[in-house]
Chains A and B, each alone.
Chain A
Amino acid sequence: MLTEYLPIVAMAVLAVAFGVASLVVSRMFRPHRPNPVKLSPYECGNDPVRLPRGERFSVKFYVVAMLFIIFDIEIIFLFPWAVRFRQLGLFGLVEMAFFIGLVFVAYIYVWRAGGLDWATSVEAPADADLASDSPRDPMAAADEELAAAMHDAEVAGAR
């Protein structure tokens, strides 16, 4: 029954109206004397060195966000079962234990892989040079020279 939600709608209207009204009324009464220093971003009295714009955050926040979605959805699966689990009986319990167990395996893996550690980096790929893909070993360097030489030769041949 959607009429059950009427008081909630009324409450939402009242809360928002209260908020907007206090903003508007306060605007009428309060002083308004801006100056550039007052309007600059707060940096404890220093001139702001750099303002956030198109900020890139530590990848850990994204990891947390992804993990949150996984576990939140797990909980959403738990809710209907929790309401009816007496009726579902042993079958429901075993099924849900299985489900929680599956998620737990992933959880243990994430834990061991460092996904839950905040102080250290999530994955420190010391052996994977994502940052610098420059050829380090002489063999690879030689090969790239070879490739370049061959390309040159082919271009020359084409002429």
Chain B
Amino acid sequence: MIDAPRVELWAILPVLMLFGGGLIALLASGFARRAAQAPFALFTLAALAAAAASALWLWNRETTTALEGMVSIDRLAVVATLALCGIGAFGAYLGFHYFERDDFRRNEFYALLLFALGGMALLVAAADLIVVFLAVEVLSLALYVMTALTFRRGPTEAAMKYFLLGAFASAFLLYGVAMSYGASATTSVQGLARALTGVGGSQPLALVGALLLVVGLGFKVSLVPFHMWTPDVYQGAPSPVTAFMSAATKVAVFVAMVRVLDVAFGSLAWDLAPAIAVLSAGSMILGSVLAIAQRDVKRMLAYSSVAQAGFILSSFVSPEREGIAAALFYLISYSAAVVGAFGVVMLISGGIREQTGFERFRGLGRRQPVLAALLSVFLLSLAGIPPTAGFVAKVLVFGAATSAGYWPLVLIGALASVAGAFFYLRVIALMAMQEPRGVDIADPSPLPRLVLAVPAVTVVVLGIVPGVIVPLLQEAGVLTW
């Protein structure tokens, strides 16, 4: 008899909830591909609630790893899973509205959403590089399909680009795993940390492995040399999908980066920090500068998300716990703002043939004051202007970078923020100060406005009283293993 391994499935209960929900949704969508999608949306929300509840149930567990050291049980994973479930709920609602509005039913959307979220929830808990790779692949495959879900030319092209470049990035990720294994004879995050600490001299193999992992993961969060796909995919994908993936992927992958860079390669932090600083600075500069040149709001937001990834990454030069907390706060505030922004864009763009050029936003303040106000809040937060959460997030992130001694990076970040403020404010000015022209194709229904008020309120509340979650995030930032 071979001894059965200990199966501690409770440790990945949120992931199981999401995958189980995804499987049921997939099976159901096989039999009701073009049927009413309300049950699917409700089911998705229920699955997300179940996942969130089971994540909360893990909050007070002892911080440890489970399933033969494959996944970790800690508060970082719990917080990230909760954030992912929240983003997923908005994604599901926006998708529901998007497809319902055009009477264009793609009930696979919900299954894919749940699969993507399951992969992300696994990624934030991954304590082994193999699991990191597995989770990244699961979430990516779901996102590729979601991008093409409307079967139109633009989305299909975007999905193809995303897929080809994503496959390329996966190879880098896997190569990084192999190199790390070569350096330490283990793929587990803890094992890597143990194997690499206390070893004198330079460790080129481990360093190369870490850098390749950063390349693979950096592709998913669109850091600068690997950002080429971002504008095309964000513009081509259906807006609810863009909203979902721009926020959720960043949360999941950056949390995985925390584990990989701060824990596994924590002892190499001094060697890695310059590379991270360069990536971060490049993303901030290039993202902000290129966003200025855009004439399409979705494309502009895509470049802005490149810049935002740079801002988040700048906190990684400090492997202290406030660095992790700052990154988490930034991720949450960014997610709220970007989900909201793409949600509003979806309402304004008027249907499945999305029209998101600047002309659509001209004089929106006169016609659609509510939408214009919501979008302004989100854009102000992305620009980092008080009293929104984006401001607090930038302060925290730059504080972490300064305490690590990377003040030139902070300087670049500040300059990039100024450049960024220009293109965000330009859209606001376009909405507020110009005369509307052409037909109004914005969505008139009130419910999505109400739903999108939630992230708006979040952004403002977090901006005024960040104290409500910062202590929580600092607790989550304690990685005691």
Contacts and interface: CB of A to CB of B under 8 A. Distances in A.
A–B contact via C-beta, under 8 angstroms: yes
Interface of A: 84, 87-89, 91, 102, 105-106, 108-109, 111-113, 123, 125, 127-130, 133, 135, 139-140, 142-143, 146-147, 150
B355 A143 contact: yes
Contacts of B350: 143
Interface stretch (B21-29, B218-226, B443-451): B21-29
Main secondary structure on B side of the interface with A: loop
Interface residues of B, number: 26
Interface stretch (B145-153, B275-283, B313-321): B145-153
A25 B430 CA distance: 83
Interface of B: 1-2, 4, 23, 26-27, 29-31, 33, 104, 150-154, 156, 350, 353, 355, 357, 359, 437-439, 441
B22 to A, nearest CB: 10
Contact of A102 (B4, B23, B355, B438): B23
Contact of B359 (A112, A133, A150): A150
A139 B353 CA distance: 11
Contacts of B355: 140, 143, 147
Contact of B4 (A91, A130, A133): A91
B26 A109 contact: yes
A105 B31 CA distance: 12
Given A87-B1, A111-B30, A143-B438, A130 B23 contact: no
Contacts of A84: 2
A130 B26 contact: no
B441 A109 contact: no
Given A87-B2, A128-B151, A150-B359, A139 B27 contact: no
Given A87-B2, A128-B152, A129-B152, A105 B27 contact: yes
A127 B2 contact: no
Contacts of A89: 1, 4
B156 A130 contact: yes
B30 A150 contact: no
B95 to A, nearest CB: 16
Contact of B26 (A91, A105, A147): A105
Nearest to B22: A105
A11 to B, nearest CB: 36
